[in-house]
Amino acid sequence: MDHLQQEFSVRFSYPIFFTSDLFATTNSLFADFFNKSAGAVRRKLLFIVDSGVVEAHPQLLDSIRTYVAQHVAALDLIDDVLVLPGGEIAKNSPDAVETIVDAIDRYGVDRHSFVVGIGGGSILDMVGYAAAISHRGIRHVRIPTTVLSQNDSGVGVKNGVNYRGKKNFLGTFVPPVAVFNDSTFLTTLDDRDWRAGTAEAIKVALIKDRAFFDWLDTNATALAQRDLPAMQYLIHRCADLHLKHIAGGDPFEMGSSRPLDFGHWSAHKLEQLTDFELRHGEAVAIGIALDTLYSQQLGWLSEADADRVLNLMRTLGFSLYQPMLDANDSADVLKGLAEFREHLGGQLTIMLLTGLGTGVEVHEMDDSRIRQAIAQLKRTESQPA
Amino acid sequence: MDHLQQEFSVRFSYPIFFTSDLFATTNSLFADFFNKSAGAVRRKLLFIVDSGVVEAHPQLLDSIRTYVAQHVAALDLIDDVLVLPGGEIAKNSPDAVETIVDAIDRYGVDRHSFVVGIGGGSILDMVGYAAAISHRGIRHVRIPTTVLSQNDSGVGVKNGVNYRGKKNFLGTFVPPVAVFNDSTFLTTLDDRDWRAGTAEAIKVALIKDRAFFDWLDTNATALAQRDLPAMQYLIHRCADLHLKHIAGGDPFEMGSSRPLDFGHWSAHKLEQLTDFELRHGEAVAIGIALDTLYSQQLGWLSEADADRVLNLMRTLGFSLYQPMLDANDSADVLKGLAEFREHLGGQLTIMLLTGLGTGVEVHEMDDSRIRQAIAQLKRTESQPA
Ligand SMILES: NC(=O)c1ccc[n+]([C@@H]2O[C@H](COP(=O)([O-])OP(=O)(O)OC[C@H]3O[C@@H](n4cnc5c(N)ncnc54)[C@H](O)[C@@H]3O)[C@@H](O)[C@H]2O)c1
Ligand SMILES: NC(=O)c1ccc[n+]([C@@H]2O[C@H](COP(=O)([O-])OP(=O)(O)OC[C@H]3O[C@@H](n4cnc5c(N)ncnc54)[C@H](O)[C@@H]3O)[C@@H](O)[C@H]2O)c1
Ligand SMILES: [Zn+2]
Ligand SMILES: [Zn+2]
């Protein structure tokens, strides 16, 4: 048979910096990155900032202007810094992407320039997508401002927006050229967002890293009391585990390798059933609790270990029961399992635990066991602690 | 400085098949490809077909249905085969992408399914883009039906659509999972499209492959007389050269490496100046003529060699002069040089010839020499051959 075979590899490489006060004039980190890449070619910087971040940090836009003028003289800051509504709305409205593409066009932002997103995972997912589709990919830089985006979404390779309310229906796999995790932003998060992002750390610790789980257990009270150095450690370690998972696996998910989604089949459904009243991380905490109890029922995890998992999350302040778990005699949440199977193309793969720090994949789950786990969560959560 | 460094490579691999009568029930090529990849997972096939191809091959849709039903039983053909207007309009109207994304949503085409595009480079660029952004990338298969798409655009890694009339403003780098070059489609091309695609073969021969140039020269009359085996050879060799250039260079153009664009700086401008009355390949032929004469003026190419290049294109039936070359005392076409520089981010890089089969990059071009080359083209083209 007459054919040619095309074969090539593309190498991707990007740094994830950890810092504080990124735009303080005494902090040269951001400037160093850009000045290094300056050359004969004139590069532009287009900033897009989460409105929630601007509200909490009213001096931010001025700091950026001052900083770039003083330290990044080799690049042209586009004066029109775009401030767009933060949160899931950023991904729900086609207008946000359109606004960025329009700015890229009007200001002549080309493939030698940079799009810089500052904000939570929602804004960053949307900005990354707009940059990825413009001119077949403009370099984008992420400055994540939530726990979740600093330890998970912001360091990875996915971007996307919702379409007709369907999560991440449109998107691409395109890594950023750099990520700047600035701990100063975390101080203004409300308690729910501070807490929610820690669920992803518990998730990855439980399936990959016993020592990290022990650390989380030891530091749960400090984290609950908003100890910043503890949170910085959590983010660094969690980001590292996510990065290694991506690099070691199938970064663009072209084969059948699975993303890190322990506890996520029910979490996705609960987010939807509660009309996104539950934060992603809050739903993940419940999903982790459910699949932990399920693992215990199978005899794979001791009761003591399962209790440690649940108590850790309670100490952090998570509620591990949500009435929607019972809706329609749990038929609604079980639909999440069917949808997960469908999403995977017909072959279900679910991560369960055989120990703290050890995940294992299974290809079916039993409805009545899931109902038992739900009942147990309902019982224990409605008792006074 | 505290940072993590992410590093990974992603491997891409896809076959380019050469065949005829792809959907004849006796041809198992297409079926073999899909049956090989069938598994536990149920996969769907969404076809999008160029209306110009359907007009020229009225039995095509029936053949596809019969073929898939008989030979590709492991996959579900989505009944609603989308027939969309071919030609540049496919890339100009946002509706076309929207129609495909909508079908992907309504028919539950997931990341285990395939989107199959049949048509010229325009439809394929648009279909590839719609597939690339849906669910962060649905596998797409290309069945190019023009000379240009079989030897160049269809075998590469770029896709895209126009935005506000700007060529390829939106797009991504995403390779297909397979390309099927079916020579039967070529028989129904009109003469202009048959010819236009050969300009890309001349381009790549001139900068990379002297033996291929000699072959083109020897076979020019046969090609002009629509000899199909000669065209099949041209396409195979040209596709191979394009594939090697992509694999050997910087496939996603992340650095400064250049695509194969000899003769293209003026071609892009001429297409625009003629409101796309000129086909891309027709404009490229003129662009090649111009930069060949320019190379001769520099003393890099002998007059005899330059004559061979121009005569080859004349034998193929190309006109090598277009009045827009003179518009505004050539200021308009020279603007193309400035735009090319801007597109490259400020640093101009142009390919010229130091021999037949040997390209070399330069970083400036002289306006008066360009005007001389234009004058020469005007003189020779207005004389009877
Ligand atoms: N790309 C990925 O791999 C990936 C992975 C997981 C989750 N996600 C996505 O991330 C999104 C959730 O992101 P998130 O949890 O970061 O929340 P978010 O981006 O939705 O932000 C939540 C709220 O916090 C505000 N905010 C952000 N930073 C702040 C700060 N420093 N101070 C005060 N307020 C601030 C925002 O304005 C918003 O109102 C979801 O859309 C989810 O799908 C993506
Ligand atoms: N992606 C890339 O790397 C790349 C490279 C070069 C060019 N391109 C793009 O390719 C496009 C041009 O593609 P093209 O030259 O193939 O033309 P085209 O796709 O615009 O098609 C030209 C006409 O031919 C018709 N047609 C197609 N196949 C036919 C057949 N077999 N019989 C009869 N009619 C047929 C179409 O309906 C259309 O009317 C441009 O948009 C250009 O930008 C892309
Ligand atoms: Zn998650
Ligand atoms: Zn071309």
Same domain? For B60 and B171 the reply is yes
Q: Poorest-confidence range of A86-100, A339-353, B10-24, B356-370?
A: A339-353
Q: Which residues of A touch B101 (CB under 8 A)?
A: 163, 169-170
Q: Which residues of A touch B170 (CB under 8 A)?
A: 101, 133-134
Average pLDDT estimate for B103-123? 95
* CB within 8 Å: A3 and B18: yes
d(CA B246, CA B243): 5
Establish whether residue A124 lines the binding site of ligand 1, counting it when its CB lies within 6 angstroms of any ligand atom. Answer: no
0.90 exceeded by the pTM? Answer: yes
Is A4 inside a domain boundary? Answer: no
Is A30 inside a domain boundary? Answer: yes
pLDDT of residue B385: 47
Q: Poorest-confidence range of A66-75, A335-344, A353-362?
A: A335-344
Is B7 inside a domain boundary? Answer: no
Nearest CA in chain B to A170: B134
B148: number of Cβ within 10 Å: 27
pLDDT of residue A131: 98
Q: Which of B1, B4, B168 to mutate to test the interface with A (most CBs of A within 10 A)?
A: B4
d(CA A253, CA A349): 14
For residue B44, the cross-strand partners are B76
Is A72 inside a domain boundary? Answer: yes
Sequence-ordered list of residues with C-beta below 8 angstroms from that of B328, at least 6 positions apart, any chain: none
Q: Answer whether A15 touches B (CB < 8 Å).
A: yes
* Cβ atoms of A303 and A383 closer than 8 Å: no
* Cβ atoms of B43 and B113 closer than 8 Å: yes
Is B2 inside a domain boundary? Answer: no
Nearest CA in chain A to B130: A170
Ligand 2 pocket residues where CB is under 6 Å: B 50, 52-53, 56, 86-88, 91, 119-123, 125, 145-146, 148-149, 152-153, 156, 158, 185, 188-189, 193, 280
Percent of chain A at pLDDT > 70 equals: 97
Q: Is the pLDDT confidence value at A253 over 70?
A: yes
Task: Give the domain range for residue B163.
Answer: 16-188
* Per-residue pLDDT tens over the stretch A117-169: 999 999 999 999 999 999 999 999 999 999 999 999 999 999 999 998 888 99
- State the ipTM, two decimals: 0.94
Domain count, chain B: 2
* CATH code (residue B338): 1.20.1090.10
Read off the tokens for B371: 């005007």
Q: Which of A153, A188, A223 is the last residue of a domain?
A: A188
Q: Which of B161, B188, B215 is the last residue of a domain?
A: B188
d(CA B317, CA B311): 10
Q: Answer whether A106 touches B (CB < 8 Å).
A: no
Closest partner residue to B41 (CB to CB) among A108, A137, A346 is: A346
Establish whether residue A123 lines the binding site of ligand 1, counting it when its CB lies within 6 angstroms of any ligand atom. Answer: yes
Quote the minimal CA–CA distance from B185 to chain A in Å: 17
A99: number of Cβ within 10 Å: 15
Average pLDDT estimate for A171-200? 98
Phi, psi of B173 (to 5 degrees): -100, 105
Is A174 inside a domain boundary? Answer: yes
Tally the residues of chain A.
Answer: 385
For residue A18, the cross-strand partners are A181
Same domain? For A159 and A58 the reply is yes
Read off the tokens for B67: 């073929």
Average pLDDT estimate for B235-240? 98
Same domain? For A26 and A92 the reply is yes
Is B78 inside a domain boundary? Answer: yes
Supply the DSSP string of B68-116, one letter for each residue: HHHH-TTEEE-S--EEE--STHHHH-HHHHHHHHHHHHHTT--TTSEEE
Same domain? For B120 and B225 the reply is no
* CB within 8 Å: B5 and A16: yes
Quote the minimal CA–CA distance from A136 to chain B in Å: 4
pLDDT-based confidence at residue A40 (cuts at 50, 70, 90): low
* Per-residue pLDDT tens over the stretch B193-206: 999 999 999 999 99
Q: Which residues of A touch B240 (CB under 8 A)?
A: 4
Q: Which ligand is nearest to the CA of A279?
A: 1
Is B102 inside a domain boundary? Answer: yes
How far does residue A194's CA lie from ligand 3's centre (Å)? 15
Closest partner residue to A346 (CB to CB) among B40, B346, B347 is: B40
Q: Is the pLDDT confidence value at A385 over 50?
A: no
Closest partner residue to A7 (CB to CB) among B2, B160, B247 is: B247
* Residue nearest to ligand 1 atom 25, measured at CA: A52
pLDDT of residue A341: 85
Inter-chain contacts counted by CB atoms under 8 A, chains A and B: 190
Phi, psi of A3 (to 5 degrees): -155, 160
Same domain? For A117 and A204 the reply is no
Phi, psi of A169 (to 5 degrees): -65, -35
A130, A224, A127, A257: which is closest to A179 by C-alpha? A127
Phi, psi of B11 (to 5 degrees): -95, 135
Which A residues 110-139 touch B at CB under 8 Å?
110-113, 132-137
* Per-residue pLDDT tens over the stretch B54-93: 999 999 999 999 999 999 988 999 999 999 999 999 999 8
d(CA A163, CA A184): 33
* CB within 8 Å: A345 and B43: yes
Q: Which of B137, B156, B188 is the last residue of a domain?
A: B188
pLDDT-based confidence at residue A36 (cuts at 50, 70, 90): confident
A162: number of Cβ within 10 Å: 21
- Rounded to 10 deg, the angle between the A198-208 and A280-297 helix axes is 30
Residue with the larger pLDDT of the pair B260 and A175: A175
Q: Is the pLDDT confidence value at B214 over 70?
A: yes
Same domain? For A262 and A211 the reply is yes
Which B residues 321-360 touch A at CB under 8 Å?
342-347
Atom index in ligand 1 nearest the CA of residue A188 equals 32
Read off the DSSP letter of residue A323. Answer: G
Q: Which of A1, A2, A5, A6 to mutate to test the interface with B (most CBs of B within 10 A)?
A: A6
* Residue nearest to ligand 1 atom 9, measured at CA: A121
Cα dist. A250→A170, B70, B110, B372, B375 in Å? Answer: 20, 34, 18, 55, 56
A176: number of Cβ within 10 Å: 31
Percent of chain A at pLDDT > 90 equals: 86
Q: Is the pLDDT confidence value at B383 over 70?
A: no
How far does residue A197's CA lie from ligand 1's centre (Å)? 9
Q: Is the pLDDT confidence value at A41 over 90?
A: no
Same domain? For B99 and B241 the reply is no
Same domain? For B139 and B206 the reply is no
* Cβ atoms of A31 and A72 closer than 8 Å: yes
Q: Answer whether A255 touches B (CB < 8 Å).
A: no
Atom index in ligand 1 nearest the CA of residue A91 equals 41
pLDDT of residue B346: 74
Instruction: Return the ∠ at Cα A105 (arms to B90 and B96), rounded to 5°.
Output: 15
* Residue nearest to ligand 1 atom 10, measured at CA: A121
Same domain? For B218 and B163 the reply is no
Scan for tokens 């900068």, then name that residue.
B207
Same domain? For B146 and B278 the reply is no
* CATH code (residue A124): 3.40.50.1970
Same domain? For A255 and A138 the reply is no
Same domain? For A39 and A122 the reply is yes
For residue A8, the cross-strand partners are B12
Atom index in ligand 1 nearest the CA of residue A196 equals 15
pLDDT-based confidence at residue A23 (cuts at 50, 70, 90): very high
